[in-house]
Amino acid sequence: MSRPTKSSKLSHVDERGRVRMVDVAAKPETEREAVAEASVRMSAEAVRAIRSQSVKKGDPLQTARLAGILAAKRTADLIPLCHQLPLTHIDVELRPARRGRGYDIRARVGTKARTGVEMEALVAVTVAALTVYDMLKAVDRSIVIGPVRLLEKRGGRSGHYRRKR
Amino acid sequence: MSRPTKSSKLSHVDERGRVRMVDVAAKPETEREAVAEASVRMSAEAVRAIRSQSVKKGDPLQTARLAGILAAKRTADLIPLCHQLPLTHIDVELRPARRGRGYDIRARVGTKARTGVEMEALVAVTVAALTVYDMLKAVDRSIVIGPVRLLEKRGGRSGHYRRKR
Amino acid sequence: MSRPTKSSKLSHVDERGRVRMVDVAAKPETEREAVAEASVRMSAEAVRAIRSQSVKKGDPLQTARLAGILAAKRTADLIPLCHQLPLTHIDVELRPARRGRGYDIRARVGTKARTGVEMEALVAVTVAALTVYDMLKAVDRSIVIGPVRLLEKRGGRSGHYRRKR
Amino acid sequence: MSRPTKSSKLSHVDERGRVRMVDVAAKPETEREAVAEASVRMSAEAVRAIRSQSVKKGDPLQTARLAGILAAKRTADLIPLCHQLPLTHIDVELRPARRGRGYDIRARVGTKARTGVEMEALVAVTVAALTVYDMLKAVDRSIVIGPVRLLEKRGGRSGHYRRKR
Amino acid sequence: MSRPTKSSKLSHVDERGRVRMVDVAAKPETEREAVAEASVRMSAEAVRAIRSQSVKKGDPLQTARLAGILAAKRTADLIPLCHQLPLTHIDVELRPARRGRGYDIRARVGTKARTGVEMEALVAVTVAALTVYDMLKAVDRSIVIGPVRLLEKRGGRSGHYRRKR
Amino acid sequence: MSRPTKSSKLSHVDERGRVRMVDVAAKPETEREAVAEASVRMSAEAVRAIRSQSVKKGDPLQTARLAGILAAKRTADLIPLCHQLPLTHIDVELRPARRGRGYDIRARVGTKARTGVEMEALVAVTVAALTVYDMLKAVDRSIVIGPVRLLEKRGGRSGHYRRKR
């Protein structure tokens, strides 16, 4: 069972796109953390609906936080090649957008494991953002999600990553 | 069990943010379809890695399609107030980005049900985009997902919606 | 594949406890609703923690509502012989207990299907109650859940059931 | 990302009920065990149906045990702020009730982890009890579940807890 | 979004292996049933362990039945391109093998839907067989599963299929 | 809570088939690996459909690999008495059959845990095989899966197991 390396030019047809969950057995268990962010842009009416607590389905911010936390725990079930990681903490926060109208959603996720939690943080903010959309779509169907991105990552062989502004 | 209407100003503490899965029993089962899109922006190196089939985890485009399809079927499990809908078709497509470097992911989802499939289409493209990120993060950690948005929606009381460019 | 009837005295060893998901194909799709209730008894300190919003994990009532709604949708995954039912609405409500100290949790669940939603309503209130326990266990480990019971059931062959007080 | 402490009086609107999965990274991995109990009260007819193995859906006790075991493993998926814990053993037992007519269900669950397994034991007995209800509801719709409570807990910083009778 | 037909020779690279969940919206909802079978071959010692009820993990036949039923309901979650179908009945049966030593597992699954339940029946017998393996592997690691095959299928456009012996 | 040993002759009715998830707390965490195989036999037409990439649902081999990987991660959810194990790698491979027409599917799965990953490897190959069936059933409904078996197992108290040919 030979494994193509990152630099290999795979030419054999059978090898094209042959997916695998890469081996992390040799990596040590270390503390790792990742922070991701997703922005949600919406109409003035949608923002008003949130602020006045008059959304038919209930409070979008509370619901979004919980949906993000639950989804982070299910990352390995959603993203096919992710390893299952026991998360030590998950924190999802929604704040009025710094740019434009809407909210910036930030998730901080931690683990003590052989591989990082970028995907868990990204899944958390994304599902939180989709939940905001779901609860407000009766008010504003043109809500836009994004940019979604990794802000920071700590622990593991690749060291500390911090996104440049 | 009185239900606050969209226009109500809810002041009672117990009522703040009280979530519910809204009643759709009175709505007829009709054919519905939704199309959503998510863009993924990445470095030239990341695009090259996809094109040369030299990504360590396997082919990101194939994997993303499947991840999107599987996630769409689990929408009601991820988005707390979504109804469970039996989807009649799901199609996820990745194309070179029209703007910038990367891919535009489009999902078309259908059902015959009492409520629409916007969320299913949005979940499909988002999880497909996250899967692309996951498979390429060893090459480029600064990949950005978004905008994610609904392009079109058909069927149901609210009629045909098509996003303005 | 003969099927034992309710009145049968099953003596054959192979037949003992042979589980099955009973056939509902011949039953018509009708509107059905069920209401269930679970009580949660707790210390004065635990009630104060909820009221003063000083629970470390966040607001237990909001979280319990959402957990109940999500669990109701997963009933067929949890209760082995339940049929999968597309729910038309789910409403979970927490009120100060009528008797004792704590909360009474009530769920109303609906569907248009071949079989009833008692289990969905019971799962909703039970998981909501367990969530309250989880969020308050740092304050009071001796919280008691129960009674949990069906209050009402409507639709289907067996007619309207209403629990006697 | 400041975190409110248990004693804080949270007044800021954004902070009300902001849920989080609390950080356990600093806690050591230790052996932990929890025992929970749920009682199920039922009519004489329902007890007879179990004893004579004449329940249409199959043997409720066997099915309840398995449902409880499976549910315990899914605790973090059901209870929003629970950590994912790899369980080392799960044992679910049903015995004729000490008080009243019916069954007492007891679950013993263990792990080697950073946080306890009270919720896993409580989920196991509760889902086992709901399964008993499901299998007997054709015979007796007025079955009552409860009390459900933690009997014992061992391991971890808070030491040995044993419920007073 | 053009769709390749079964007979097409797909040459475009982007089209290679592009998966989709095929559209069933135009198909009528009809009653459908499928029967599948899986055989499990094992050592004389393993058979004795089952018969004498001396398997450490508990009764393999009971557990296998339930595991098969639960898995059938999760087919669309396991088999990527399967549609979600509300099953009307599931029956899993284990009998002493007609050929060789071991058990023949048969599942009968029904639905009223737009597409068939072959996969549900096949998933049921396969997961039941794997459960038998799991419970007996301490006694016999060389247990073999198979053949696994569809025996019969009814309902839907393709008519009645019955496997030739 | 006394536990029946493997050699015990359980006579008490309540004890018959009482399932449990056996205790692994005392076992050390060691590196473990398992390799399993499933064969899929099909018609010449089905093989041609795969090779010419003309399967309506997309490329069966790619999809099967992913389905196998995802299913392996869900083993404890499918096989009732399996422990939840964090897998360090999963590799699923499909090759033209050595005997007969069709494919041999092999999965290699690893972990660092208190119990082995035979079931994870067996689940991976089985779900991969079922996925191949699903994608080709429109072409050939008589596809047969099997034999499915464990080829090799390493790590843990029971030592190295290698299946005899």
pLDDT for residue B134: 97
Probe site for chain F from E82, E133, E139 (most F CB atoms < 10 A)? E133
CA-nearest of E52, E151, E49 to E93 is E151
Is the pLDDT confidence value at C13 over 50?
no
pLDDT for residue C71: 98
Of A72-86, B56-70, E52-66, F2-16, the poorest mean pLDDT is in: F2-16
F14 catalytic, yes or no? no
Mean pLDDT across C1-5: 36
Domains and CATH numbers, chain D: 41-157 (3.30.70.640)
Q: Please, which residues bridge with residue E87 across strands?
A: E111
Is the pLDDT confidence value at F15 over 50?
no
Is the pLDDT confidence value at A75 over 50?
yes
pLDDT for residue B28: 93
Probe site for chain A from B13, B48, B83, B122 (most A CB atoms < 10 A)? B122
Average pLDDT over chain D reads 89
B62-78 pLDDT per residue, tens: 999 999 999 999 999 99
Mean pLDDT across A39-56: 92
Is the pLDDT confidence value at E79 over 70?
yes
- At D16, list the tokens: 């009300």
Probe site for chain D from A88, A104, A117, A123 (most D CB atoms < 10 A)? A88
Mean pLDDT across D24-48: 96
pLDDT for residue C158: 79
Measure in Å the smallest separation between the Cα of F92 and chain E Cα atoms. Answer: 15
Q: What is the DSSP string of chain A?
A: -----TT-----GGGTT---B---TTSPPEEEEEEEEEEEE--HHHHHHHHTT--TT--HHHHHHHHHHHHHHTHHHHSTTPPP--EEEEEEEEEE-SSSSEEEEEEEEEEEESS--HHHHHHHHHHHHHHHHHHHTTT-TT-EEEEEEEEEEESSTT--EE---
Mean pLDDT across E27-55: 94
pLDDT for residue F17: 57
The pLDDT-based confidence of C17 (bands split at 50, 70, 90) is low
Chain centroid to CA D81: 15
A15-43 pLDDT per residue, tens: 455 789 999 999 999 999 999 999 999 99
Name every residue whose Cβ is closer than 8 Å to that of residue E96 and which is 6 or more positions away in sequence. E102, E103, E104
Please report all neighbours of D, defined by 3+ CB atom pairs within 8 A. A, C, E, F
Mean pLDDT across D86-106: 96
Of A64-78, B14-28, D76-90, F40-54, the poorest mean pLDDT is in: B14-28
| Counts of helices then strands in chain C (DSSP H, E) | 4, 5
Please list the helix, strand and coil fractions of chain F in percent, rounded to the nearest 5, in that order. 30, 30, 40
Task: Quote the CA–CA distance of F3 and D64 in Å, as a whole number.
Answer: 19
Measure in Å the smallest separation between the Cα of A151 and chain B Cα atoms. Answer: 9
Q: Give yes or no for a contact between D54 and D74, defined as CB atoms under 8 angstroms apart.
A: no
The residue ranges of DSSP E strands in chain B, in sequence order, are: 30-41, 87-96, 102-113, 144-154, 161-162
Flag if D25 and A110 touch (Cβ within 8 Å): yes
pLDDT for residue E17: 57
C112-165 pLDDT per residue, tens: 999 999 999 999 999 999 999 999 999 999 999 999 999 999 998 878 999 987
Residue D116: how many CB atoms within 10 A of its CB? 26
CA-CA-CA-CA dihedral for B147, B153, B157, B158, to nearest 10: 40
Measure in Å the smallest separation between the Cα of E58 and chain D Cα atoms. Answer: 10
What three-state secondary structure class fits C156? Answer: coil
Mean pLDDT across C3-9: 35
Radius of gyration of chain F (CA): 19
pLDDT for residue A2: 36
Phi then psi for A84, rounded to 5 degrees?
A: -80, 125
Q: Give yes or no for a contact between D80 and C38, defined as CB atoms under 8 angstroms apart.
A: no
Q: Please, which residues bridge with residue D108 across strands?
A: D35, D91
- Residues of E with a catalytic annotation lie at 134
What three-state secondary structure class fits D23? Answer: coil
Is the pLDDT confidence value at F11 over 50?
no
The pLDDT-based confidence of F157 (bands split at 50, 70, 90) is confident
pLDDT for residue D33: 97
Find the helix or strand (DSSP H, E) in which D109 lies.
strand D102-113
Residues of chain E contacting D62 with CB distance shorter than 8 Å: 59, 62, 66
Measure in Å the smallest separation between the Cα of F76 and chain E Cα atoms. Answer: 11
Percentage with pLDDT > 90 across chain A: 79
Mean pLDDT across F134-154: 96
Task: Quote the CA–CA distance of B144 and B140 in Å, as a whole number.
Answer: 10
Nearest CA in chain C to B23: C89
pLDDT for residue C127: 98
Average pLDDT over chain C reads 89
Task: Quote the CA–CA distance of D103 and D123 in Å, as a whole number.
Answer: 17
CA-nearest of A67, C65, C59, C77 to B21 is C65
Selecting from D20, D24, D86 the residue whose C-beta is nearest the C-beta of A91 gives: D20
Task: Quote the CA–CA distance of A131 and A72 in Å, as a whole number.
Answer: 14
E87-146 pLDDT per residue, tens: 999 999 999 999 899 999 999 999 999 999 999 999 999 999 999 999 999 999 999 999
C28 or C13: which carries more pLDDT confidence?
C28
E4-29 pLDDT per residue, tens: 333 333 222 334 557 899 999 999 99
Selecting from A17, A25, A76 the residue whose C-beta is nearest the C-beta of F88 gives: A25
Is the pLDDT confidence value at D4 over 50?
no
Beta pairing, strands B87-96 & C87-96: unpaired
Residues of chain A contacting F69 with CB distance shorter than 8 Å: 19-21, 80-81
Mean pLDDT across A115-122: 97
Phi then psi for E124, rounded to 5 degrees?
A: -60, -50
Nearest CA in chain A to D84: A86
